[in-house]
Chain A
Amino acid sequence: MRTIYVCEDSLTGIFSGIYEVWKRKMTAEEAGLEVGDSFERRLFCEYIFCKAEERKALAVIRMIQKNLGADVYEKISYALLSADRRKADMVFRAMLEAKKLSRKDRLMEHLGNEAVRAVFGMYRQVANEAHHYKGFVRFRELKNKTLFAKIEPKHAVLPCIAEHFADRFPQENWIIYDKTHEVFLIHEKGKRYYFLQQYMCMKGDSGSAQNIAGGFSEEEMDYETLWKGFVQSISVAERENRALQNQNLPLRFRTNLVEFSKEEWSDSPNFGEFSS
């Protein structure tokens, strides 16, 4: 009989789950972890739902930092932001593998192991998407000069890019809205940023900027037009290569990019379906 611990899909939730398994010194055969509430049930498994508890999570985090080092901890916490359903289980197994190693801080180099490879793969996916979004976030200025951006990432990358934008725009009020995970990242001028779950703030389609503060500023349209013009005129016609453009900038990112927005592409049938 295998015991499956089901945890909430958050860093605190997953680390709390790992706490339960680790405390009981269970092996990968005896225990597993699942995330969220929509997973497939298997036969001959006992399911235990664990609550997210800060105290337990912190204990695990400290243990990882102390024994495996800051670098491994960073990679693990990135991997746990992934959309991959196996993430909690794979992190648990990678931690078990670390027990066998003499240099535990080099866990992530042990790519011969399946679990480590999976965790490293998830880390890379999240880190890559986060890096993409450092470039692909597009702020639009609202009437009150606040900058608002909407993104739709696969993985929950907001925590990975928060520090970057806070450092870059310290004297601006700005909001980044992650529509996939329904989280706001909010930064007030000169203050520390914070995260806000959507269900905690308002009803209806809060993602559309118009609802937030009565629409865009007067200059916003001008700068968007300037930017669209720039993106067109900077391309060398003799070198046109749409395949390369698609490879470098996959279509899924374009829905929220000003330069690819509806007005721009309405006459191009290829892009019609992406202009929702």
Chain B
Amino acid sequence: MQGLILGKSEIQRSMTTQPIGRTFGTAPALFGGQKSLYEKLSILSDAAKYDVACTSSGTSRRGDGNGLGSCEKAGICHSFSADGRCISLLKILFTNECIYDCKYCINRASNDVERTSFTPEEVCRLTMEFYRRNYIEGLFLSSGIWKSPNETMEQIVTTLWKLRNEFRFQGYIHVKAIPGADERLIARAGFLADRMSVNLELPTAEGLRQLAPHKSRKNILTPMRLVQNGMSENRQEIQLYRSAPKFVPAGQSTQMIIGATPETDFQIMRVAESLYQKFDLKRVFYSAFVHVNEDKALPAAGEQGPPLLREHRLYQADWLLRYYGFRAEELLDEQQPNFNVLLDPKCNWALKHLEYFPVEVNRADYFTLLRVPGIGYKSAERIVKARRMGSLSFEDLKKMGVVLKRALYFLTCNGKMFGQVRIEEDYITRNLLQTKESLPDSVRNMNYRQLSLFDDVNFREINRMDGSLGCLAVLDESELKEKVAG
């Protein structure tokens, strides 16, 4: 909300000093009243900012020499906003005139916020001019539901078609498939965009029923399945005809809101895992719940802010699922359904499975190395390659850029451990806790404080952690160290 108010004062300032409307003022507004492009951009980017799925990766495409734009496989970050997140795409809603009333959403029908819509031409011009100046890597187009899913999807498809064909734009396009829209519209959008996504919104069907009364799980999964089938058919076509038009070449993604409903991390990870397996998704994004609306169905607003640490742990675990060959059941189970606050998921797993360690650097295979805390896929790859040329010592690992902060407790080099390290759960835990991972202040500077009836520190999160550490939760950090060291 704060951002929106700030946006307004910005608008007034700009209205008096720079007549932005000059360039576009004559363009007919498709619906809604007349607003300058600056106002529209402020409102509709502000409304889109809670969407987190905004990477520009997954496609590699060279320009054709006549149009504008190309795509890099790894994606390119063009700037970083004050919240530290990457700005890669022009992330906007087509319209925030929404007929749905999802409880968590700033644009829900029952909220009194300023409403506006772009025209397809405006979106195209903005994208082209921003792209030319190298501000952005492409367009991220989402939308509120204007009149009906079909009419909204039609506007989106028209915009993309113009951008690709009239403006000859060859940069990255990420577009939302609107649940409930016609199959053919979604298929057309798929041939114009690089990535498509349908938001799962909430991890369980039950949560969806409570917070998003106009959406249903079935409605969301249908377009997701559609895109998946389209992609697999397209893969066969491309094998036959190399120049066949590509359908969603960068794959599809989804996102869910974390912390608005009472699911455990284990439930969330299982949902993510099945999405990767059954729907062939490229990415699942987790969005820490930001309190924008007052509603009795939502958790009360605390001082704590969004559950960012929890979101962080989920992303860490997500990487373990996709790149490190872990399964959700290995990381969590019914007895321990939530991630440890103090340790990352991989460390946590390793401490529970000390029987696999230590691992010999010079012999262990790639996948075993990947399971060592502190060794990522880059380090593992470098180790596997470098040891072909000669055996490696801890000194060599350090010089190669392998970070030993965590790894040294779990490795041997030529049969020797690093110094006096012991393979013992308490000893390793104690040392790992001192590595000072970037934990949020609330966890790091845990201090005595006035008791309160409400869980405004989010103890629910902290109490979930490993039993052996649970009792230490309310101590000051220095005391915590003393306690574990003593």
Chain A bound to chain B? yes
Q: Which residue of A lies closest to B384 (CB)?
A: A109
* 14 pairs, A vs B, C-beta closer than 8 Å: A111-B385, A112-B392, A167-B62, A219-B129, A226-B20, A226-B41, A226-B126, A231-B81, A233-B42, A234-B91, A235-B85, A238-B306, A240-B82, A248-B80
Flag whether A229 is at the interface (Cβ < 8 A). Answer: yes
Do A222 and B86 form a contact, CB below 8 Å, given A140-B133, A172-B132, A227-B133? no
Contact B49 A236 (CB under 8 A): yes
Contact A241 B20 (CB under 8 A): no
From 23 to 81 in chain B, residues with beta carbon under 8 angstroms from any chain A beta carbon are 23, 37-38, 41-42, 45-46, 48-50, 62-63, 65-70, 72, 74, 76-81
Flag whether A136 is at the interface (Cβ < 8 A). Answer: yes
Q: Determine which of A117, A168, A238, A258 lies in contact with B291 in the assembled complex, contact meaning CB atoms within 8 Å.
A: A238
Flag whether A63 is at the interface (Cβ < 8 A). Answer: no
**Distance of A235 Cα from B129 Cα, bound (Å):** 21
Residue numbers in B under 8 Å from A222 (CB-CB): 18, 20, 22-23
- 7 smallest beta-carbon distances between A and B, as pairs: A244-B84, A235-B81, A109-B385, A241-B84, A239-B83, A249-B80, A233-B46
Residue numbers in B under 8 Å from A110 (CB-CB): 386, 389
Contact A147 B84 (CB under 8 A): no
Q: Determine which of A111, A168, A225 lies in contact with B68 in the assembled complex, contact meaning CB atoms within 8 Å.
A: A168
Do A171 and B68 form a contact, CB below 8 Å, given A237-B2, A239-B83? yes
Task: Output the least CB separation between B393 and chain A (Å).
Answer: 9
**Distance of A170 Cα from B63 Cα, bound (Å):** 8
Task: Output the least CB separation between B7 and chain A (Å).
Answer: 5
Flag whether A45 is at the interface (Cβ < 8 A). Answer: no
Flag whether B158 is at the interface (Cβ < 8 A). Answer: no
**Distance of A124 Cα from B72 Cα, bound (Å):** 18
Count of B interface residues, CB-CB < 8 Å:
69
From 373 to 394 in chain B, residues with beta carbon under 8 angstroms from any chain A beta carbon are 382, 385-386, 388-390, 392
Flag whether A259 is at the interface (Cβ < 8 A). Answer: yes
Do A223 and B129 form a contact, CB below 8 Å, given A170-B65, A234-B87? yes
Q: What band does the interface of chain A fall in when counting residues whose beta carbon is under 8 Å from B?
A: 35 or more
Flag whether B90 is at the interface (Cβ < 8 A). Answer: yes
From 62 to 118 in chain B, residues with beta carbon under 8 angstroms from any chain A beta carbon are 62-63, 65-70, 72, 74, 76-88, 90-91
Known: A138-B134, A235-B83. 18 other contacts (CB 8 A): A109-B382, A109-B386, A109-B389, A111-B382, A135-B78, A225-B38, A226-B37, A233-B7, A234-B81, A234-B87, A236-B49, A237-B83, A241-B84, A242-B84, A245-B84, A248-B84, A248-B86, A249-B80
Flag whether A257 is at the interface (Cβ < 8 A). Answer: yes
Total CB contacts across the A-B interface at under 8 A: 186
Do A232 and B80 form a contact, CB below 8 Å, given A147-B132, A168-B68, A238-B290? no
Flag whether A200 is at the interface (Cβ < 8 A). Answer: no
Contact A245 B83 (CB under 8 A): yes
**Distance of A171 Cα from B14 Cα, bound (Å):** 32
Residue numbers in B under 8 Å from A230 (CB-CB): 41-42, 45, 90
Contact A233 B14 (CB under 8 A): no
Task: Output the least CB separation between B331 and chain A (Å).
Answer: 25
**Distance of A233 Cα from B80 Cα, bound (Å):** 12
**Distance of A167 Cα from B66 Cα, bound (Å):** 10
Flag whether B399 is at the interface (Cβ < 8 A). Answer: yes
Flag whether B400 is at the interface (Cβ < 8 A). Answer: yes
Which of B20, B67, B77, B133 has the most C-beta atoms of chain A within 10 angstroms of its own C-beta? Answer: B133
Q: Which residue of A lies closest to B7 (CB)?
A: A233
Contact A147 B133 (CB under 8 A): yes
Task: Output the least CB separation between B47 and chain A (Å).
Answer: 9
Residue numbers in A under 8 Å from B63 (CB-CB): 167-168, 170
Which of B69, B83, B88 has the most C-beta atoms of chain A within 10 angstroms of its own C-beta? Answer: B83
Residue numbers in B under 8 Å from A240 (CB-CB): 82-83
**Distance of A5 Cα from B91 Cα, bound (Å):** 54
Q: Which residue of B lies closest to A110 (CB)?
A: B389
Residue numbers in A under 8 Å from B291 (CB-CB): 238
Task: Output the least CB separation between B52 and chain A (Å).
Answer: 9
**Distance of A110 Cα from B382 Cα, bound (Å):** 9
**Distance of A227 Cα from B87 Cα, bound (Å):** 11
Task: Output the least CB separation between A243 and chain B (Å).
Answer: 7
Flag whether B135 is at the interface (Cβ < 8 A). Answer: yes
Q: Which residue of A lies closest to B62 (CB)?
A: A167
Flag whether A194 is at the interface (Cβ < 8 A). Answer: no
Task: Output the least CB separation between A270 and chain B (Å).
Answer: 12
Which of A140, A147, A223 has the most C-beta atoms of chain B within 10 angstroms of its own C-beta? Answer: A223
Flag whether B10 is at the interface (Cβ < 8 A). Answer: yes
Flag whether A51 is at the interface (Cβ < 8 A). Answer: no
From 217 to 276 in chain A, residues with beta carbon under 8 angstroms from any chain B beta carbon are 219, 221-223, 225-227, 229-245, 247-249, 257-259
Contact A236 B90 (CB under 8 A): no
Residue numbers in A under 8 Å from B294 (CB-CB): none
Residue numbers in A under 8 Å from B68 (CB-CB): 168-169, 171-172
Do A229 and B82 form a contact, CB below 8 Å, given A109-B385, A171-B68, A238-B305? no
Residue numbers in A under 8 Å from B134 (CB-CB): 135, 137-139, 149
Contact B50 A236 (CB under 8 A): yes
Task: Output the least CB separation between B191 and chain A (Å).
Answer: 22
Flag whether A70 is at the interface (Cβ < 8 A). Answer: no
Flag whether A101 is at the interface (Cβ < 8 A). Answer: yes
Residue numbers in A under 8 Å from B20 (CB-CB): 222, 225-226
Residue numbers in B under 8 Å from A138 (CB-CB): 133-135
**Distance of A142 Cα from B48 Cα, bound (Å):** 32
From 168 to 210 in chain A, residues with beta carbon under 8 angstroms from any chain B beta carbon are 168-172
Contact A171 B66 (CB under 8 A): yes
Do A242 and B82 form a contact, CB below 8 Å, given A112-B390, A230-B45, A233-B7? yes
